[in-house]
Structure formats: structure tokens, C-alpha cells
Amino acid sequence: MNNQKENTASACSSTTQKPTSSSLQTDILSYLSTHDELNTWTYANEHKIDHQLVIGTIRSIQSIGDIIKIEQHTNRSIAPSDEGKLLLQNGSYEYNLFQAIPADKGIEQPELMKFPNATIGFAKAMSSGWLQVDKSSKPAIVKRKVENVHDEVQNLLKRIQSLELQDASVKEVVELKKRKLVEDVIVNYFIVTKSSEFSTNIAKGEAELTAEMLQTGSWKTLNFKQYNFNAKGMMPSHGCLHPLLKVRTEYRQIFLEMGFTEMPTNNYVENSFWNFDALFTPQKHPARDVQDTFFLSDPAVTTTFPEDYLEKIKKVHSTGAFGSIGYQYEWAREEAQKNVFRTHTTAVSTRMLYKLAQEKIFKPVKYFSIDKVFRNENLDATHLAEFHQIEGLVADYNLTLGDLIGILYEFFRKLGMTKLRFKPAYNPYTEPSMEIFSYHEGLQRWIEVGNSGMFRPEMLLPMGFSEDISVIAWGLSLERPTMILYGIDNIRDLIGPKVDLEMCRQNPICRVIPAKIEE
Amino acid sequence: MPTIGVKRSLLFNALGQEFTDEEFDQLCFDYGIELDKIEPIPESKGKDVEYKIDIPANRYDMLCLEGISRALKIFLQKDELPKFHLSKFNENQKPIRMKILPNTQRIRPIVVCAVLRNVTFNAESYNSFIELQDKLHQNLCRNRTLVAIGTHDLDTIQPPFIYDAQQPKQIKFRSLKQQNEMQADEMLEFYSKDSHLKRYVSIIQDSDVYPVIYDSNNVVLSLPPIINGDHSKMSVNTKNVFIECTAVDLHKANVVLNIILTMFAQYCSKPFEIEPVEVEQVDGTVILYPNLNDRTENVSVKKMNQRIGIQVDVETAATLLNRMSLRTEILDSDTLRVNIPVTRSDILHFCDIVEDCAIAYGFNNINKTVPKTSCIGNQFELNRVSDLIRHSVAESGFTEALTFTLCSCADVAEKFGKNIENIPAVHIANPKTQDFQIGRTSLLPGLLKTIANNQGTALPIQLFEVSDVILKDLTREIGSRNERRLCAVYYNRSPGFEIIHGLLDRIMTLVKISYNDTKSNDIGYYLNNQCEDSAFFPGRHAEIIVRGEKRGTIGVLHPNVIEQFGLKLPCSVIELNIEPFV
């Protein structure tokens, strides 16, 4: 049994003591200090160490710092098959059969053939000339022909297992392959070389500088372990702002830099009068349809209005006034009373302009706002029922369409866009109206980036402004440029409860870079 | 905006010029229409395509191939605006008459009519004629509620005509493409199942009388605004077309009638000549339709230049306006007389003429100037304070969420064990989905939903939002107001109330409001736990009292709430009105 046990142990550990990882580390480093390179396969074989142990040690050295470089290689070799491994443990069939025959008197052949794998063992032993068969008696008696035999098959397998024999072309090996006791295998091994921080003295050293070392001064004489600068650091615990609102901050900053004053837009519910009628949007306009706008059931209507202003609005819609022929329909107060979730922040601009028109002395203004608006839309990847509208306006004497184009160039330059073009458009409360297109270098095409126009006299004159005051204005959504900026296709990935918090936490600093000033 | 499909070959043929797709796209851009899509026409085997062109919502004169090509041809100075005119009658001829009976005034009081004589349609132009009516019905006619168009083969019917409104059971006829006669009430029942016509049924269904047009032999022409009779139906071979527009809005009825006439009178044997029809009103007066007279407007070129920011002389300005289908004469060195044709119902004011001048000049040719307006910028203080608080809360380790303002009733009521009746929410009358029934009265539901969708995230989850809730408030003009709030939640294996509590103390430190441990007078802040709220775990909740007034709540959520939002772990929250900090 003792013999057998020794045979079962692996070829390596049976011949050497299993080294500890740290002693092997030292061995490998000192080997490298005198050699240009180390082949893990050869090294394991030469030192009769398990190859996986060498690789593990190499990896642990590598994790310490930039001490060694490794490069993976593969090689073809041979190894005992599963059956071969059994023979390696238990001896060959023919050897065991031979041992089973009593040295003196032999054994009856049928008895002998009851041994495991006797057929192969008998054939091999016979061809090796180990046995003789006495057929004179019935049944025939099998006797030893030689006194002693060596288990050559097991020896060969041991040599293959221990990598002493790797040449697949050797005659005996070819024989074993025919018997399917040996097979081809692929070996992965590494070539190890020194790297920039190579040292044989790495394992020892203090992990960290401690308060105690500082007090005792022991740090002066101690060695310290290398830090691994290839690993990532520990993320500090942090909060963060929402990606869309970071873009909002940039836009807000741009308006402030341009001298605009922020309008109070904290009134999401508005009545139709201020949201539509005051903006010369006729009462049968599709935007006022229940399909497009959220109407309120509670509180359903507004009852107080500036009545003289309301009368002027009624007139300009129904019969015309202020140089306009109007829409020529019966304007209904009930329609104007209906409360809605505001469909644009222009409702706020309208209130602000009305307030401005009531001042005794007109002072030019620049106003802006960025806040939520609501549409009863069918939701899809780019439309939500609520989104942020960005709006800017300038009210002054004798502003021109050229002024509007000029200030849009300035505004969009601050957003990094310099190639603009303008398309005539229709909007009930602006005339002229222009859609703003910008050439997007990344997308390689013109994209619509906003809407703009000069407020209609039908909107301004009823407020009480004199005819020489014009208002130029523009608007865009916050979501669309943000989606383009971040490369987000589905708006739900940006706004609402389905936003991935990890995306928010990984979102970089938002810095909209202005283009250089045109000469 | 309406989208019109036209075959490229027909369009270029009408324009008398070939364009590449890029050239045509640029032309559209300059004019203010948009080549939205180019779609293949499989039958043409690659020879032709269909242009899908977006038309501005107020240009009803460009809703068909005839109108688009006419406008662009004039714009390109290859043609002039045609002169639309009425045919003259000699002594023994009289116009066709339509008589309005009093009952119509209860349901659809207006009708206007006209005739196109000796028209020659082909398959394409006939198709365009049908499509134009569809487009007008969808847009200007507001799905036939305001105006409905009926077109008939005049040679199959016998004037004079009568426009009446009768009880449904009195009206019986064979409607378009049907085999059998039906009574009007049955007919509406029948069409309420028709995929195309069902949306119009409700316009008259509940009325005791339905509008109907008869000829002198009692043949039904149409049951407006639903369906025409089969008897007078048109075909590509129809020579004489009778057009009636019934309406509740006279101005729009005239616009619709004029558009159809001016677009298709080009196919009459005497092009652009239109035969008028007398319409006898209920009071006996007779009005001749259509009215094709131009409106004239005198404009100052100086004022026009001023509004655009260009310097063109009076001749150039006249040319520019002519290119926009506005026939313009020069009156003196500054004044133009602009004749606004009936096709241009979009021109309401001087500013519309200015826009056309600017379009013809080219928006992108206008010299850009920066307004000299000098102003000092200012922030809205509430937004400034909100931003400062947002940064402070993020610095304290919380991640900002951005959630929806609209929510369901359950989100603020049932899920917190409350009744919506007791919550001062504003309610939406026409929500398309149950997710948007009200304006949120709390920021909390949005944050809890965000956590529910992010349960795989490393714990603890610390979220916040600074945004507006909407509260019904009948003391306000609109009956509601926004309130700016901070809401923060802490979600972990234990509620971590001390962390949320700490956040409150931190915010109060930052806004310089000190803790009031006497809890007695109106200074500082303190927590009052003598209150009940079904949203919170009993005994683990308090009101936040700031300078003597309740400004918020803080506590550990009730397990029922956790479950209602699909969450699994304890959660502590704070919601605070930050407007007092401004």
C-alpha cells in the first residue's frame, strides 16, 4: 500500500518539498536577477514544482507593482490520458497480470483471465515474452517465463507526467498513443522578464506609514511596500446634480452674461386668456384643442381679468383693431376663462410685457426664463407631457429682424454654434417668424435648434405699447440640445423615475464651450 | 402643420423647370415650406418620387399641387398671380340660387356656394381636388365642425337649391357609394361605425334637426357635415361642379370656398372665371358668393425697411412683394399699394406684408446687427436660493433626481393612506393617461418611484429634488399656486432618520435659522411630534416648524407606503417649503 500511495502523488511533489509562496517568490526573483527571462513551464519542470503554483506566484509578484513583465505563450506537448493516469497510479495491465501469477506453480488460464483488464494484459505480457502457457493440462496453466519484470509502461508514463519525456515521436510514446494512454495537450505558459521597478527585495516591507513610526522615527530605517498605482482608488462618497439641470445652469449663465433678467415662471397653471388669447392665438386654434393642451377641471376657470385689456383682446380677435383685420369670429369670454397647464413660458412673458406696458415711462428690457411647460401629447422616445422651455426676449424701440438674427448669433455662439440659417415659419403671435437651424458638425447635417420671431402688433398694441416698440424673442427646449449633447436617444433615460442613478453619478462636469468671436 | 404629397414629375412640370432634390429643398427652405420626406413611387419603377411637403398652418392656398406650384412659380418670377373673376350673365341668364330655411339657424346657419363651369379634370387633378377638400376639412374646417364642403356634379341636379334642417326621420336618401336609401338617424348610426366618418357624427347627432340640402326635385345633395348623396356624385368626367360650404363661421366658409375655387378654376375652359351663386338668407336678403375682391393696404417702404433692418427702394420692395403673390403698385416714393388676393387670408396686418418682403429678400441675406439695448441682468431670487440649496444638498451626499410634475391621484393619496378629496390638488380635465390626473402636491412620490426603478443601486440610496409642487389656492387669481420645495429621502437597511434629521439641521445652519429648544415662540425652528399622518410610521414623524409656522414634515415612512411604491427597505424622508428662505 505504501508503494502505491507514493505512486499516486504527483510527479513534482513526490520529488520536492512543496515550497511556500513567499519562498518561491524569493526564488523566482533571484532567478530573474541572474537570468534575462524565466519560462514558467521550464522553471516548474526544472524545479519540479507544480506549474500552476509558479503562475500564481508570478501573478502575486505582478500585483505588487511594476516589477516584472509577463507574456503569455502556448505550446503543444503530451500528457497521460485519463486511462494513462490510472495506469500511472496502479501499474500497467501486463505488469499487474504478471504479478498475479504465483512464481512457482503458475495459474489456471481461466482463473487468470478473471483479473481486471486481463485480455489486454495477457496479450501484452505474451508479446513481451513474460509468460508461457502449458497447454498439456486441461485447463491450460499459465506460468512466469522470466523471474522478474519492470513495468516499462508505468515508467514511461511517469517520465511523460514529469515532463522528462515530451517528444511525441519517440517509438515508445507512439506505442502508448496507439494504446490511448497518452494524448496531445496544449500548455499555456508565461515568459517573465524584469520591469522598471525590479528588485529582489519586495516581499518585505511595511504596508503603511503609521502614527507610531512618526513618533518613534522608525520610518527612517524601515522598508515600505510599493503602492499599486495600476489599481483604481476608492471613490469618495458624493452626491451630484442632475445632468439636465447642469445644462440648465449653463443656459441660465449665458443669459445672465448677456444682461438678461430672469422672469418668475413659478406658475404652472395659467388661464387660456394669458396662455392663448393675449398671444393672438384664435380660440379655434388646434393648440387649444383638448388633444393638445391639459385643461383643468378644478379649478376650472379664472374669473378676474384686467377688463379693459380683455376688451381690446376681444376686439383684435373678432373684428380687428390696431391695423389688423383680426380673425373675424365671435370671441367668447368662456373660452378665455378656461384654466390650463401652461403650454409655453411665453404666457409668463406676456404677463411681464403687459406689466411693463403699464409703466409710465417705458424702459427697454431683456428677459429670459427656463422652466417647465406642458402638452397633452402622445408620449414617445422624444416627447413627454412636460418639458423645459428656454426663452429670451428683448423689448426696445425700433428693433429689427436683423437685430433678432444678430442676437441669435451671439446667443448660439455662446453655445458653440456659429453656422446658423433661418427658415420662414408660422406662429400665431410672431411675425416675421423664423425657425433657427444650426449645422451640427458631429451629425453632419442642419438641425432645428429653436424658434424665433417678432411679437405681433396684435399682441403688443392692446397692452398699451406705442407702435415704435418692438419685441424680438426666441425659444427652444432644454431637453433636445441636452439629448444631443449627451447622446441620449430616449428622453425617459434623462427625465423621470426611470433614470439610471448611476448614469447621473457618472455624468461629467457640464461645460458648454463658446465659439470664438467672429471677426 | 399639414403635409402635402405631390409627385415630383407633376410638380416640376407645373413649375416648368427641373431641380435636383437639394435645389428643391433649398427653394422650399427659402420660401418657408419644408421638403420633409422623399418617398419612392413603386409603380413608376424609379422614374418618379413623391415629395412630402410641410406647409405652414396658415397657408391654405398651398394645400395642393396647384397652389404650391403657383406660389413657387411666382416666387421664381416665372409667372404672375392670375386674376380671379366672376362670370358675367346676359339678360336672360340668372345665377343659380340657394335658399336658406329658418330651421338651419338652430344647427348650422351658414351656406356659401359657387360653380366651376366646363372643367376638364384628369386623374391627377381630380385626385388633387379630392385631397384638397380633405386637407381643408382637417385643418381650417377643424374636422368639419366649422365648415363642411360638398361638391356635386351640377348636371345631375336641378337648381334652385334649398338649405334646410329637418327632423332625422323626415330625411331619407341614398348616400355616397351606398346601395339603399336610409333615414338620416339610421344613417348616423351606420356612419358611427365607419372608421373615417365616425368622428363627424357627433357634430349633429344630438340635434333635433339635421342640416340637409335639396334640389328643386327634392333630390338630397348632402347631409352636412357628414355625407353627400350618391345621386350628385362627381367623377373625373364631371364638367360642371357645384360647390357648397355649410358652416358655423362665415369668414372661414368664405376662405374655404375661395381656396377651392381659385385653385381649380385653372382647369375651366375660361381659366380663373368663376360662376357665382345667389344665397337667399333667412331674412330674405340675397348675397352673391364668392367675393373675390382683393383687399388693399397702403404700406410705407421706410417702415418696412425699418422693421426688417434692410434698405431697399420702392421698386425693389414692389418686386419683392409681387414675388410673394401680393400684387403691388407704386403710389409714390415711399408708398406701395398692396393688393391682397383672397387666396392670402393669412395676411391680417402690415407685419404680415413685412414678413413676405423679408422672405423674398431672404432671411439669410439680412445684415445681422446686435441690439443696442443695454440692461443689467438679474436672477429670480427664488431660483437663486433654490440653486444654492441644491448645491448644498448635493455636497451633503445626496443625488439629485428630476421627476414629473404631473402624477396620478393615487400617487399623492391612496398610496399614502389618504383621500384625494382632502388634498389641495389641481385636477386635469382631459388626461390621456391615468399617470397624469393632477399636479403633484408633493415631491415625494417622484423620488420613491425613482428608487423603485433603481433598486439594484448600491445602498444607501440618498436622493433629493428641489422643485415646484402645485397647490389649489382659491385666494389666487388662477385658483392655484406653485410652492418651491426641497424633498430628500434616505433608503437603506435601517431608516437612518438621524441622517435625514441631520440634513435638516445642516440646511437650517446654511440659511441661518437657529434651533429653538423652547418650542414656544415664533423664532428659529423645531420639530413638533404632536401630529398624525398616515404616511409615516407611528411615533416616528414630526412637523417642521419654522418661525412659528408649519413648513414641512420629517419622519420614517409607514411600511404600507414602502409597499405601495414597490420598495423593500426602510426609508426616512424630509419635505420642506423653501420659499421662506428667500
Asked whether this complex has an ipTM greater than 0.95, the answer is no
**What pLDDT does A202 receive?**
63
Angle between helices B250-264 and B123-138 (to 10 degrees): 160
Q: What is the topology classification, in CATH, of domain B295-363?
A: Phenylalanyl-tRNA Synthetase; Chain B, domain 1 (3.30.56)
The stretch A169-194 carries a mean pLDDT of: 85
**What pLDDT does A471 receive?**
98
Q: How many CB atoms lie within 10 A of CB B370?
A: 13
Nearest-Cα residue of chain A relative to residue B579: A266
- Most confident of the following: A42-51, A211-220, A233-242, B155-164: B155-164
Q: Please tell me which of the candidates A241, A300, A396 has its beta carbon nearest to residue B373.
A: A396
**What pLDDT does A19 receive?**
57
Interchain proximity A325–B484, CB inside 8 Å: no
**What pLDDT does B238 receive?**
96
Q: Which of A257, A288, A367, A405 is best to mutate for the B interface (most B CBs within 10 A)?
A: A405
Interchain proximity A424–B359, CB inside 8 Å: yes
Q: Which of A247, A423, A471 is best to mutate for the B interface (most B CBs within 10 A)?
A: A423
Interchain proximity A500–B454, CB inside 8 Å: yes
CATH number of B3-76: 3.30.56.10
Q: Which of A307, A455, A501 is best to mutate for the B interface (most B CBs within 10 A)?
A: A501
| CATH architecture of the region B381-581 | 2-Layer Sandwich (3.30)
The stretch B401-410 carries a mean pLDDT of: 96
Q: How many residues does chain A have?
A: 519
Give the SS3 label for residue B164.
strand
Q: Which A-chain residues 21-60 have CB contacts (< 8 A) with chain B? A: none
Nearest-Cα residue of chain B relative to residue A458: B349
pLDDT per residue as tens digits for the range B183-203: 999 999 999 999 999 999 999
- How far does the CA of residue A57 sit from the closest CA of chain B (Å)? 34
Nearest-Cα residue of chain B relative to residue A306: B477
Q: Which A-chain residues 253-312 have CB contacts (< 8 A) with chain B? A: 255-271, 284, 286, 290, 294-300, 302, 304
Domain residue spans of chain B: 3-76, 85-289, 295-363, 381-581
With beta carbons under 8 A apart, name residues in chain A contacting B255: none
Question: For residues B547 and B522, is the Cβ–Cβ distance under 8 A?
Answer: yes
DSSP per-residue string spanning B349-364 = SHHHHHHHHHHHH-GG
How many Å from the N-terminal Cα to the C-terminal Cα in chain A? 97
* Contact status of B31 with chain A (Cβ, < 8 Å): yes
Q: Which of A240, A256, A257, A269 is best to mutate for the B interface (most B CBs within 10 A)?
A: A269
Multiple choice CATH, A244-506, 3.40.50.300, 3.30.930.10, 3.40.50.2000, 3.30.43.10: 3.30.930.10
- How far does the CA of residue A211 sit from the closest CA of chain B (Å)? 30
**Torsional sign, CA B190, B196, B199, B205:** negative
**What pTM did the predictor assign?**
0.80
With beta carbons under 8 A apart, name residues in chain A contacting B388: none
**What pLDDT does A36 receive?**
87
Residue whose C-alpha cell is 422643485: B467
The stretch A361-378 carries a mean pLDDT of: 95
CA distance B436 to B432: 8
Angle between helices B21-31 and B65-75 (to 10 degrees): 80
With beta carbons under 8 A apart, name residues in chain B contacting A294: 406, 428-431, 436
Domains B3-76 and B85-289 share a fold: no
Share of chain A above pLDDT 90, in %: 47
Q: What is the topology classification, in CATH, of domain B85-289?
A: Phenylalanyl-tRNA Synthetase; Chain B, domain 3 (3.50.40)
Question: For residues B163 and B281, is the Cβ–Cβ distance under 8 A?
Answer: no
With beta carbons under 8 A apart, name residues in chain A contacting B307: 400-401, 454, 470
Question: For residues A84 and A125, is the Cβ–Cβ distance under 8 A?
Answer: no
CA distance B519 to A7: 86
pLDDT per residue as tens digits for the range A391-408: 999 999 999 999 999 999
Q: Please tell me which of the candidates A256, A454, A472 has its beta carbon nearest to residue B379.
A: A256
| CATH architecture of the region A93-150 | Orthogonal Bundle (1.10)
Class of domain A5-82+157-210: alpha beta
pLDDT per residue as tens digits for the range A309-341: 999 999 999 999 999 999 999 999 999 999 999
B65 or A8, which is more confident?
B65
Domain residue spans of chain A: 5-82+157-210, 93-150, 244-506
CA distance B18 to B28: 14
* Contact status of B460 with chain A (Cβ, < 8 Å): no
With beta carbons under 8 A apart, name residues in chain B contacting A302: 477-479
Antiparallel, parallel or unpaired: β B335-340 and B399-400: unpaired
Question: For residues A139 and A109, is the Cβ–Cβ distance under 8 A?
Answer: yes
- How far does the CA of residue B88 sit from the closest CA of chain A (Å)? 30
| Chain A with chain B: Cβ pairs closer than 8 A | 288
